[in-house]
Structure 1
Amino acid sequence: MELFDVTIIGGGPAGLYSAFYSGLRNMKTKIIEVQPVLGGKVNIYPEKVLWDVGGQPPMQAQLFVQNLVNQANTFSPTICLNTKVEQIEKHGDIFVITTNNGETHYSKTIIVAVGGGILNPIKLEIEGAEKYEMTNLHYTILGLERFRNKKVLVSGGGNGAIDWAVELLFVAKEVVVIYRKDQLTAHESQVEKLKEHGVQIMLNAKIQSVVSNDTKTAIEQVIVSQNGDIHEIQVDDVLISHGYNREVSLTFADDIQPMRKDDYYLVGQGQCKTSVPGIFGAGDIISYDDKVNLLIGTFQDAVLAVNNAKKYIDPKADQYGMVSSHNEKFAEKNKELLEELFCKAEAASL
């Protein structure tokens, strides 16, 4: 039996920073992630530019994820991908984690960092629509270039849909937005950008049916119902942003059930502790007063969760990890980085 100090369930920003910080605190660390890649929900918007990460220049989400992954690997945690946690039990002082592949994992503490759960996009409810997912029916954008000079219909009015519509303004030939309600719910500044660019926005509208091309392989026309009227819209691509079905990725044995809010989010007991000693939360999954639902808040959650996991294992341990500017764990790494920077500067001067 291989026993870990902390097992982090979830490989998004909260889980990745938890892995880095637990390594800094000399904890034997494991990450269990249900997806085939790390990064969590940020992977849904790989080309979106992030501006609100402290001390970082604006960068695309895919680069931000790669930076997080590199940082998480600083202290070589064990990482299990394509692995879904199904049950958590406690045997004595040890948490026993059972996964979908029949494996069993053992840990002294657990940090739950599953965010909003396993997110599956709500599909277009039209018979036969799934056959177009291989061509021009999309539920996410993995690259903007494929939409260059195309007419794109975006269905949805929340932040996700409108953010995508704004991104498409700079590559697509034309963008049309339809939304089933009488008012868009996205941030006003983003909606204003669409209006400034003259984007056609159809409210109280929904997709009634689609018409395929001659080869029956792609959508060439969308039939939209709006206040009883029918509109036929020629399209090159259709992007659906109707939200996500959330699947809870783990369950707890009856004797260690943490308190939940709204049957999903864990209720924080202060400093990212849950009602179960030894189980902590970080990121979107943990709910508490004055919660900051931004990346900066996620990183603070991770630090609090790790520090308290460390104290749970060893009550005599320091409450906080030593800052990196004084931490001996980084002495050799700093030397390597400085040598690398020196070599680059010397090469540039030649």
Structure 2
Amino acid sequence: MTLLEPAPGAIGVQPASDETVRPGLVARLSAEAFGTLIVVVAGLGVPLFTIPQSNPLPGALAAGLALTAAMLAVGYISGGHFNPAVTLGNVIAGRIRLADAAAYLGAQLVGAVLGAVALFGVLRTVPKIDDSQAAFATVTAGFGEHSIIQVPMAGVLLVEVLGTALLVAVFLATTAARNPARAAAPFAVGLTTAMLLQLGQAIGNVPFNPARATASAIFSGPDALGQLWLFWVAPVVGAAIAGLVFRGFAQSTGRTAPASEARSDARSGDRRAGDTAAVADQDDSGLDDAELAAEGLDDAVLDDAELAAVTTNTDTYLGAATRRSDVKAPAEDEARSFFDRKGGQ
């Protein structure tokens, strides 16, 4: 991990070396709180104060752009979650520890509430808005009679689950370490968020973000708080689905170590057993088990100094045989000559 590569799932940054330091938990939590505050201020503030004739930027696009900006600004510190559902998806995908995830969730709620407090304070200063709570309710998630087009609970639940699963899946896929387009993750996640919010706002201000839903419900009265449970349960289900699918997909695409790495790993273990196996496994060497035994490659016969000599000669031979096939015969003759001398002693 590097100072520019935080918790698993960090975006757009590649580790520089093994010695660099991962940001501390306090720094990561501060980044999560700050990023979530940006997301809430834009996601709730733009539609809250929008006048269609003078505000050409849709609220959904504003929220998506704000998320992109937040991920670019502080995503390299914390991973750029800014959403409890995204954090849960990272937990299930095995990218972040459960204890850290719980701390992330707390930081996200703090940032979201602070953003809502700021917006509510602005509302109180507007002379033409007599009921700040009712104004906040216009941008708060709801279903049934609290939905813009009266969508029932089942419909809103389905949209929230599906949308959250898609959002978390895009986040996990674009921030994967093996993704060559990892640096573009903030833009992919931001655009996905904007698209989903355009759908969610038409149905019932569905945010696909439990922290944002909580922040707006707090300042919208008891009715919104009574329906808040759905905007926690549905994102959790959607995030769990995406996390499990991504984890299974990642495990099914595991790579096989190259032959050079396999040889290196074999040699790093027991030198005596590794060297004997390396010679025995080389078809080009022409030595079978009986010949090896006859040439004296038994630990009971060779002492440590002789084993070291055998190791050096064998590694030299194998390296030469791997690099150039046209020198196999000289290398083989040299190895046989050495073993013949050992056998004659």
Whether TM-score is above 0.5 comes out as: no
More helix by share: 2
TM-score bracket, shorter-length normalisation: under 0.3
More strand by share: 1
* TM-score of the aligned structures, taking structure 1 as reference length: 0.19
* TM-score of the aligned structures, taking structure 2 as reference length: 0.19
